[in-house]
Amino acid sequence: MNDKTDPGNPSLDSSCRFIFNGADVRGNLVRLGDSYHNMTRLHDYDPVARKLLGEFLVAALLLSDTIKFSGRLVLQATSQGPVRLVMAEATHDGKTRGIVRMEDDESPLAADASIDQLLADGVIAVTVEPDQGQRYQSIVPLSGHNLAACLENYFRQSEQLSTYVHLAVARDQAAGILVQQLPIQVQLDQQVRDDQWQTVRTLATTVTDTELLEDSNEVIVRHLFAEADVRILGENPVAFACSCSEERMAEALVSLGGAQLDELFSETEELELTCEYCAMRYLFSPDHLTRWVTGDAPKH
């Protein structure tokens, strides 16, 4: 894999997990700065679509932090609305990328549009692709006034886990928090479990967009849960990275078949493919592509 990565600022582009001692409750924080900016500056996105992508990117990273795996998680929505596709990908080691595709109509999106208006008649899918093991997918119902509410409903229905999610996007920053009640492990008393969860959730709901976007992960955790016995499990960097490569682009061309390739090359000396994620350009002449087919081209 030949990743094109901008490391960003680790203190800003980061994910952070935390747990509550003596309680079956965990939390995650994600903050994006340079990685979000470097990803979206490559495209002329409508401001509302750009904000929606920021929410999906943060959500994908939050979701990937809730499972133990080596691989990638994809959060994707398709619809018949003005936003036809929004996709965010997160890997176990904090790499992320994403795109938005709009309908052909160039009318600006309404700033106050709800998610079911932007993604009309849509569905959201969560796909986990481990490096080893079987790929699996869950469908997230588009039920809720925003993406955070959709994800809360997903966890409630699919995982039977009470969850609170708050997502915030402004300018070149995106951030989010997730707190979740886990199955019984530490606390066996149901009443105590319920009280602990209700306390954590209530405190989490007091966080503001400004705090999520401007304060450090540690400051947010210590401020929100000042009276709780909370332990931060560390902070990991997040970065925009694209996994496109010349090899993958060549394989995409070869998959078209000889007849169609001959027709394309009859009109031009070189075929140009551009990655829709990172805008990297790849040029292929007939001889160059032949070397990929025969295995003589260098692998990257």
Buried b (16+ CB within 10 A) or exposed e, 48-70: bbbbbbbbbbbbbbbbbbbeeee
Q: Which of these, 54, 62, 64, 75, lies nearest to 27 by C-alpha position?
A: 62
At 205 the pLDDT is 97
Q: Residue 297 pLDDT > 60, yes or no?
A: no
At 295 the pLDDT is 65
From the options 3.60.15.10, 3.40.50.2300, 3.90.1280.10, 3.30.420.40, give the CATH code of 246-294.
3.90.1280.10
Q: Which residue matches tokens 């090899």?
A: 247
Residues spanned by CATH 3.90.1280.10 within the chain? Answer: 246-294
Mean pLDDT, all residues of the chain: 88
At 69 the pLDDT is 83
Beta carbons within 8 Å of 270's beta carbon, 6+ residues apart? 283, 284, 285
pLDDT digits (tens, 9 = 90+) for 57-86: 999 999 999 888 889 999 999 999 999 999
User: Measured between alpha carbons, how far is 120 from 115 in angstroms, rounded to an integer?
Assistant: 8
Mean pLDDT of 35-41: 90
Q: Which of these, 16, 19, 18, 61, lies nearest to 36 by C-alpha position?
A: 61
pLDDT digits (tens, 9 = 90+) for 151-208: 999 898 888 899 999 999 998 899 999 999 999 999 999 999 999 999 999 999 999 9
Question: How large a percentage of the chain has pLDDT more than 90?
Answer: 58
From the options 3.30.310.50, 3.30.2320.80, 3.10.270.10, 3.55.30.10, give the CATH code of 4-242.
3.55.30.10
Is 66:28 a contact under the CB 8 Å cutoff? yes
Q: pLDDT band at residue 4, thresholds of 50, 70 and 90?
A: very low
At 299 the pLDDT is 52
pLDDT digits (tens, 9 = 90+) for 88-100: 999 999 999 999 9
pLDDT digits (tens, 9 = 90+) for 206-263: 999 999 999 999 999 999 999 899 999 989 999 998 888 888 888 888 888 878 888 8
As a residue count, the chain comes to: 300
Residues spanned by CATH 3.55.30.10 within the chain? Answer: 4-242
297 vs 126, more confident:
126
At 160 the pLDDT is 87
